[in-house]
Structure 1
Amino acid sequence: MLIRQLCAGILLLSGAFFQKAYAEPPPSALLFSYISHPQISLIQNELRQAYANLGIELAFTPVASEREFIVGNRGEVDGIAAKFAMAEEQLPDMVRANVALMEVEVYLVCAQTVVCQQQILQDASKMVALVGGKTVLSEVLRSTKIRRMELSSHQQVLDMLAHQRIDYALLVLSYEHIRMIGPQGVQIALPAVYQGEVYHYLHRRYAELVPAVERELRYVVEHNNRLR
């Protein structure tokens, strides 16, 4: 009899714990950081669609690439719109929504007046511009000899190329949407210097929400891919 009462008590406590852990309603709104980039709007639209299916509104705040790791891990934002999987080790407090949002490439982009070949990345007398900080771009350049000029944003790199203030740059692009780089009169060296997938990340306090986000995000991404 005593054993039966103890078991009943344990079950009651366990039930109360799981009810507390899983019965909390999902948040009504979340704030995600993003890096300013012309292709981020495509990802933001897909995230909005997926979270709308869960009854969650989204807001986005621009953050510099280097700082995005800090605000994400500290929980100052609820999640990160998109990051290369290569950067995941720098996000110990974030949980990946395991749905590839986009296949993205890193390209050498050059002014129209120079020879645009990837061999220049091994020329120590040349300089290439890129968005600074611990980005996939800096990782790509790790084994090269070219000097680097770190700029603050994707748009700044494009503007300097357009005005021929720089000859070479590394840019993150999806070749499918490469027309979005903006200014005409630039060259793009093929093939890509690096290829990788980008993913959406949530702060670990929302870990229980991740399976539902993956389900809705997978549906949205696959549906949109069929329409393209």
Structure 2
Amino acid sequence: MRVLPALLCALLALPAQGRDLQLYLIPNTPAHIEAWQVIQAAAKRAGIRVAMRPLPPRRGMVMANRGELDGAIGRTMLAARDFPDLLPVPEPVFLYAPSAYSYKQLDVAGGWAALRGHTLCVRRGYTLMEERTRQLPRQRMDDDASLLRMLRHGGCDVAIMDRQNKEARAAMATDHDLYLLQPALEEVPLYLFLHKRHAALVPRLAEALRDLKRD
């Protein structure tokens, strides 16, 4: 009767009947919205129902790790290092490229080290950003619009956002003094993380993500 325990484990890994997987998303973030769209498409292929719940970064990770939510959308391996009950789906859902936006034409070829001596505006709660800018003078904001506003008013020399950030791109289209400095400071894959009770879903979603990219 070994089949019965295995069947029970498989059933426990699935969402409750009629219930979507509840995945948390950092709000007001274009990169995470794009990651969510990719996850939606992959989950549909895999026959898994998903729903998104916007929450602040730290709170969302804590709730997902406790099992109060089913997972986290678009986080780095660094962000998940202190949350052992979260499992990464081993296929990136977004390539995050933190980049410097400025009214000054600065040389950023040296990456994060090139920002020394400059004041920064960064998003609050981004683990990667917190780590990389820990020793630098910075102001932390809750959304990209605030970063751009602070930069425009001279509150910082550089605002850090994704290379493809739509809000920053829209600002550059109307403000020709605003520059996206090249190259990106770094490129970091973002992943979908699931609570360990959903371990059986990890390979299904990974395969669906790979299929989606092949198409």
Q: State the TM-score, normalized to the length of structure 1.
A: 0.78
State which of 39, 44, 66 in structure 2 corresponds to 1:74: 66
Offset of residue 163 of structure 1: 4.9
Structure 1 CA distance, aligned partners of 2:4 and 2:186? Answer: 50
Compute the displacement of 1:200 (Å). Answer: 0.7
State the partner residue of 2:120: 128
In structure 2, C-alpha distance between the alignment counterparts of 1:25 and 1:108, rounded to whole Å: 42
Greater share of helix: 1
Cα deviations by residue, 1:30-76 (Å, 9 ceiling, x for unpaired): 11111121232322222111111233322211112232321221222
Q: Percent identity between the aligned chains?
A: 21
Structure with a larger share of its residues in strand: 1
Query: Which one-letter code corresponds to 2:160 in the other structure?
Result: L
> 2 CA distance for matches of 1:214 and 1:92?
19
Q: Give the AA of the match of 2:212.
A: V
- 1:57 equivalent to 2:49? Answer yes
Offset at 1:215? 1.1
Aligned to 1:151: 141
Unmatched 5+ stretches in structure 2? none
| 1:32 is aligned to 2:26 | no
User: Is the counterpart of residue 183 in structure 1 residue 171 in structure 2?
Assistant: yes
Q: Is the 8 A contact 1:80 1:201 kept in 2?
A: yes
User: Helix, strand or coil: the match of 2:14?
Assistant: coil
Equivalent position SS for 2:147: helix
Structure 1 segment 73-92 matched on structure 2, within 5 A: 73-92=65-84
Give the SS at the match of 1:100. coil
Between the aligned partners of 1:52 and 1:84, the Cα distance in structure 2 is 23
- How far apart in 1 are the matches of 2:188 and 2:214? 18
What is the alpha-carbon root mean square deviation over aligned residues? 2.3
Once the 2 structures are TM-superposed, how far is the Cα of residue 77 of structure 1 from its aligned partner? 1.5
Structure with the greater alpha carbon radius of gyration? 1
Provide closer, same or farther for how the CA distance between residues 66 and 22 of structure 1 changes in structure 2, counting only shifts above 3 A: closer
Q: With structure 2 as the length reference, what TM-score do the two structures score? A: 0.82
Q: What does the per-residue CA deviation read over 1:65-114, in whole Å, with 9 as the maximum and x for residues that have no partner? A: 2323212212222111111122231221101100012222111111x3x3
**One-letter code of the match for 1:122?**
R
| Number of residue equivalences | 202
**Distance (Å, rounded) in 1 between the aligned partners of 2:84 and 2:213:** 26
Q: How does 1:1-228 map to 2 (within 5 A)?
A: 12=1, 14-23=2-11, 26-27=14-15, 28-36=19-27, 37-110=29-102, 112=103, 114-118=104-108, 121-123=115-117, 126-133=118-125, 135-142=127-134, 144=135, 146-171=136-161, 173=162, 175=163, 177-181=164-168, 182-184=170-172, 185=175, 186-223=178-215
How far apart are 1:131 and its partner, in Å? 1.1
1:221 Cα offset (Å):
2.8
Contact conserved, 1:39 with 1:180, CA < 8 A, in 2? no
Shift of 1:15: 2.6
- Counterpart-to-counterpart distance in 2, 1:66 and 1:149: 18
